[in-house]
Amino acid sequence: MTDYDNLHYIHELGYGYWKSQVLFVAVEMDIFTQIGVCGKSGKVIAKELGAHPRSTEMLLNALVSLGFLKKMKETFKNTALSKCYLVKGEPLYQGDRIHHFHNLWDPWSKLGDAVRSGKPTAFDDVQEEVDEQRLRDFLKSMHNIGSIQVEEVCRKLKVNEYKNLLDLGGGMGTYAVRFAKENPDLRATVFDLPDVIKITDEYIRESGLTDRVETQGGNCLKHGFGRGRFDIVFVSNLLHMYKPVENRNILKKCWYSLTKKGIVVVQEFALNSTKTSPTFGTLFGLNMLVGTLGGAMYSEAEIKEWFVKVGFKKIKKITINRDSNLIIGYKMSSV
């Protein structure tokens, strides 16, 4: 007898990219913002987008089936899901993150090559100079997800207890700015590559916190972060980009940069001991395979082992959501 549930699961994985492509195109065309609050007919949407009416209607119908739109007679309206996350200007907008996933399409299409060779595929056509637009796309994507996660991180970290923070690999400064807003006595430094810092400075100026949030350009593999400067170092989703030996080196620099009672906080998609879950973490590991020169997803045990070897005296974990954790290392065991 055919097991239709399992057969459906296999088939759904096979055509899963159809769904992704529908979302990618809808975000690229900014359909959800175009529809707005009151909704519009397919013909009006097509005309405003400069698209063909028949094909636009087909795309809109598919978006209804996926739960992003609802259809009332000839009018298409945003659902609560798309209103919250896919309309530009909304505080939790995730369109930049979806655009980033779309940018990963080409290297992921060569996953088989990466598995056979053990080498990334994302650099096949990369120019020597930094592509500023692609960099902005990536940073805005990280800002999208960071804007959601930072609220819970704020609560669980008790950022009001700290005075000097280093946001290592901090991107646009999403966490540093939010922490500074939460704690008026906090001074923060965002450390990242010089090309990134140019964009970080823009965001900090827009936030109005240039008096308390500064930037430092550098390479975390080559440069130090100072000695005894910070009582907290925040390292969000950085370690998966590097090899174990490089991560131990980074954490050692963090250790030196801390005050005697300082802590380092690593936010990562830590895997279980067999490295087979959570699912997002295992898939993200393949994303590191196609996109970095030696990155991978690591288990909680591996990360904690790095902490111990570096010299941290006390280690604990705080769960943020089903895919993300905070692993905290204390420089002193009595803290």
Residues 246-300: pLDDT tens digits? 999 999 999 999 999 999 999 998 999 999 999 999 999 999 999 999 999 999 9
Distance CA(161)–CA(32), nearest Å, equals: 41
Residues 296 and 285: beta-carbon distance below 8 Å? yes
Question: What 3-state DSSP class applies to 312?
Answer: coil
- Total-model pTM: 0.89
List the 40-41 sheet strands across, edge first.
Answer: 40-41, 75-78, 69-72
Name which of 50-54, 120-124, 324-328 the model is least confident about: 120-124
Tens digit of pLDDT for each residue in 208-248? 999 999 999 999 999 999 999 999 999 999 999 999 999 99
145-330 — its CATH code?
3.40.50.150
Q: Which residues contact 163 (CB under 8 A, 6 or more apart)?
A: 185, 186, 187, 231
Residues of the chain with CATH 1.10.10.10: 4-88
Bridge partners, residue 191, by sequence = 168, 216
Asked whether residue 122 carries a pLDDT value surpassing 80, the answer given is yes
Where residue 335 falls among pLDDT bands split at 50, 70, 90? low
For the domain made up of 4-88, give the CATH fold.
Answer: Arc Repressor Mutant, subunit A (1.10.10)
**So what's the pLDDT on residue 323?**
73
Number of C-beta neighbours around residue 8 at 10 A = 10
Residues 263 and 81: beta-carbon distance below 8 Å? no
Gyration radius (Cα) of the chain, Å: 22
The backbone torsions φ and ψ at residue 171, rounded to the nearest 5 degrees and listed phi first, read 60, -130
Asked whether residue 126 carries a pLDDT value surpassing 60, the answer given is no
Residues of the chain with CATH 3.40.50.150: 145-330
